[in-house]
Structure 1
Amino acid sequence: MKAKVISYGLLLVVTVIAYLIGNQFPLIGHSFAAIVLGMIVANTGLNRLYDARQMKKVSSLMLKVGVVLLGFTLSFDLLSTTALRAVPIILSVITGAFVTAFVVGKKLGVSVKSRWLIGAGTAICGGSAIAAVAPIIEADEDDLTYAISTIFIYNLLALVLFPILARVFGLSDIAYGVFAGTAINDTSSVVAAGYQFSPLAGDTATLVKMVRTLMIVPTSLVAIYWRWQQEGKAQKASYSLAKIFPTFILFFIIAIVIANVFALPSTFTDSVKQLSRLALTFALAAVGMSVSFSELKKAGLKTIQLGGVTWSVVIVISLVMTQWLFG
């Protein structure tokens, strides 16, 4: 009990400080400040005061809560005019990521299962996609660790790289949101990079990312078919669709429907938006507090190379198509 009190107390302190920094310095933003402060705590000896695995659970839960609350503040217009228009980019990104992961991965000598994990993590939604695909293809623990570490390295790089690319190419708030939502791997980093740019970019990036995350389902079904082919039809693999489908997205959609069907008072939506931002800041602080630089160093060099090449292809596809469709 005492350990949990210390853990949550430290997380609360990091969240509050990050929130205050975000309010005082909008260019830094709540999200970026939360991740950086969390990482400082995690790698300066304070990590002995809490369980990093518990932080990962907290970050996952609070991220989902924050996204669902955000749904109450979004309009159908943003969904129809932006998120759905981004579907061709999402499909192109997924295709490019998997083709690159398998072709380049083979040349680098990376195992087939690692190629699956890097492809899924880069194409769809980072750790969540990796977690969904790993048990289907029966990935080894080392493959799983290397893939998640590799994806997270590039998630951190995205927080610095994407705002720079946006300004170099003169992307609007909407275009940047689409770019971030279709090209950054993990949801937490999409949220951080989006709101670091602007509130509209953050809303857009989150919504586009939710559409992209739904691609976990067809991707997992393809993985099931692949395993079925590998094992032979006599040993057909089975996997529960309930484990694949990200149920929080269903609540996110319900929240959007409620917000657009009923005339919610502005006082309610304003309060919910603040709660959503606080929950996301809380989640990202927990993400940072679960990052161990020593663990990241364990990622295999070939896996890191493959992740970098695959992500580079995703960035190019997303940037070119975003400028074409939203420029």
Structure 2
Amino acid sequence: MDILKKKSFWLSFILLLLVSLFAKWLSGFPGLSLIGHLVIALIIGMVLQASGQLKEIAKGGSGFISNKFLRLGIILMGFRLNLEVLAQHGVKTITLAIVVIAFTIGLIYSLAKAAGIERKLSLLSASGCGICGAAAVLGLSPIIETDEDDEVISVAVVAILGTIFTLIMVLLRPVMGLTDVQFGVLAGGSLHEIAHAVAAGAAGGAASENIAVIVKLSRVLMLAPVSLIFSYIASRRSDGNSHAKIQWPWFMLGFIISSAIGTYAGLSDAIVGHLVDLAYILLGMAMAALGVNVNFKVVFEKGQKVFAVCFAGSVALFALVFVAAKMFF
């Protein structure tokens, strides 16, 4: 990898690392925790465009970082999934996750297609809403083969909608008539980011927060099989060749292996915590790299329709999970 021998890469690496670390620090503050580390890193990356010198430094390695560091971050994020904890909660949470993802992606993609939104952007934004927000957008974008502007639009939309619905959910909790567990299921099953699910779930107490995290992580677990399905579909669309080679997303295999290691290898909570922190630092660097390269005109022109469609889909998702929580939990 010749790029690793270039001074421009290492200057870019240091700058984007500092951005990610600063974003992580900011995300610890009340209010900003709802926005999250990754979205804050994206915003700071976009702000860097205001400085011609910093923009040029950041661009020196942004292509490599947004590609390779993204994959490594997704692999390490697997350590966050404890497969035994998910298994203990049985068929209901996994079934809910599958239904939520299939419903959300199917509905938002259909609405987006009807609204004339490009297929790849439709699929990426729908996946972000249905699975796990920015992490899903980053994980699936290489498979869907979207451009950087589409990634930024999708991340921004799911972040804004997730924050809005988190606030709505917390405000409406007293009049919803849900038990603590049911409220946690609603938070984990309908909100887009892990940070959103934790914030809303915590408003219902410890039991609510715990089940919110479990349901949300059940959706995160589906990122790997969804990526395989998308890879299969992409291979069949390739030049109309039904025998085209499937480009398997091997980094998703790493994601599953990391989950298994984190669950069964006897690693301490501290070690797992550090690995997950490293995952988000790498993903934050990838997000900042995206922000440096974003085309603001394209984002604003294309983003309005995407927001409207994803808002409608998120309302329907909220209603679906509310009914499921009432009936089955």
In the superposition, the TM-score normalised over structure 1's length comes to: 0.69
Which letter does structure 2 place at the counterpart of 1:96? F
2:107 is equivalent to residue 100 of structure 1 = yes
**Shift in CA distance, 28/216, structure 1 to aligned 2, threshold 3 Å:** same
Which of 33, 50, 60 in structure 1 is aligned with 2:70?
60
- Residues 78-93 of structure 1 mapped to structure 2, 5 A cutoff: 78-82=85-89, 84-93=91-100
2-side partners of 1:14 and 1:114: how far apart? Answer: 27
How far residue 196 of structure 1 moved from its aligned partner, in angstroms, is 5.6
Indicate the residue corresponding to 1:252 in structure 2.
258
Unmatched segments (≥5 aa) in structure 1: 135-140
Distance 1:273 1:317 in 2: 33
What CA distance in whole angstroms lies between the structure 1 residues aligned with 2:231 and 2:185?
24
1:50 positional shift: 0.8
Give the match for residue 13 of structure 1: 18
- Deviation, structure 1 residue 39: 1.5
1:40 aligns with 2:44: yes
Task: Write the letter of the residue equivalent to 1:154.
Answer: V
Q: What are the Cα deviations for residues 254-295 of structure 1, in whole angstroms up to 9, with x where unaligned?
A: 224424xx4x5xxx3223313422432442354145223615
* Aligned CA-pair RMSD: 4.1
How many Å separate the matches in 2 of 1:308 and 1:272? 35
Contact 2:115 2:305 in 1 (8 A): yes
Aligned to 1:283: 283
Partners of 1:7 and 1:50 within 8 A in 2: yes
Q: Which residue of 2 aligns with 1:137?
A: none
Q: TM-score, normalised by structure 2?
A: 0.68
Q: Please give the per-residue CA displacement for 1:159-213, whole angstroms capped at 9, x wherever unaligned.
A: 522431442354899767755665456xxxx344356666957853663233221
Kept in 2: contact 1:121–1:128 (CA 8 A): no
Question: Contact between 1:65 and 1:276, CA under 8 Å: does it hold in 2?
Answer: no
Q: Please tell me whether the aligned partners of residues 110 and 302 of structure 1 are also in contact (alpha carbons under 8 angstroms).
A: yes
Cα distance in structure 2, aligned partners of 1:195 and 1:110: 32
The amino acid of 1:273's aligned partner reads G
- Percent identity between matched residues is 15
Q: Which structure 2 residues correspond to residues 214-253 of structure 1 after superposition, within 5 A? A: 214-221=225-232, 227=237, 231=240, 235-240=241-246, 242-243=248-249, 246-253=252-259
Contact 2:65/2:286 (8 A) holds in 1: yes
Give yes or no for contact 2:77–2:280 (8 Å, CA) kept in 1: yes
Give the number of aligned pairs: 299
Deviation of residue 75 (structure 1)? Answer: 6.1
Q: Distance in 1 between matches of 2:91 and 2:251?
A: 19
Instruction: Return the alpha-carbon distance in structure 2 between the equivalents of residues 272 and 298 of structure 1.
Output: 41
* 1:274 paired residue number: 274
Q: Distance in 2 between matches of 1:164 and 1:2?
A: 45
Distance in 2 (CA, whole Å) between partners of 1:35 and 1:75 is: 27
* Distance in structure 2 (CA, Å) of the matches to 1:154 and 1:177: 23
Deviation at 1:157, TM superposition (A): 0.7
1:55–1:290 contact (8 Å) kept in structure 2: no
